[in-house]
Amino acid sequence: MVTPREIPWADLRAGARAASERAYAPYSAVRVGACGLTEDGHVVTGSNVENASYGLTLCAECSLVSDLVRSGGGRLVAVSVVAGDGEPLAPCGRCRQLLYEHGGPDLWLDGGEGAPPRALAALLPDAFGPEDLADRSRR
Ligand code: THU
């Protein structure tokens, strides 16, 4: 398991800030960017993409997961998500689940300058994940 000290947080936060500049957020004006690192060293990014039908908005983390899969996949080990003020943002509930699928409970999330990184397990305890489908299905 990767320790938070091994994560290049400043680089990830810079990537998230750059991605937030690419957000499409004409309705909320909350421009969110996300940047993640995979186990094998790939960097993926995402920005929020809003829609006139508000509920169809795609969060930055959703966009990051698309980038991850499109660029070859892999396991996420760390993610930084920032809002338009450049400071880390705690992912919304839906995005915690999206990130769980590709990083699991040990995925580290940026806490910002003054706060320690947090494992996804702390933000999404008792998560439902891919392993539950195998364990709980009956055909
Ligand atoms: N947003 C994200 O991109 N990620 C989150 O985890 C929280 C919210 C976006 C969605 C919407 O475009 C804007 O922030 C305000 O909710």
**What pTM did the predictor assign?**
0.96
The number of the ligand 1 atom at minimal distance from the alpha carbon of 94 is: 6
Distance of CA 63 to the CA centre of its chain: 9
SS3 81: strand
Q: Characterise 116 by phi-psi region: left (phi > 0), alpha (psi -120 to 50), beta (else).
A: beta
State the pLDDT at residue 44: 98
Can 61 be counted among the known catalytic residues?
yes
- Enumerate residue ranges in the chain where pLDDT < 70: none
Tokens of 76: 């996420």
Please tell me if the CB atom of residue 95 comes closer than 6 angstroms to any atom of ligand 1. Answer: yes
State the pLDDT at residue 139: 77
Compute the distance between CA of residue 72 and CA of residue 136 in angstroms, rounded to an integer. 29
State the pLDDT at residue 50: 98
Atom 4, ligand 1: which residue's CA is nearest?
A: 59
SS3 51: coil
The CA angle 85-9-31, to the nearest 5 degrees, is 25
State the pLDDT at residue 138: 83
Atom 3, ligand 1: which residue's CA is nearest?
A: 59
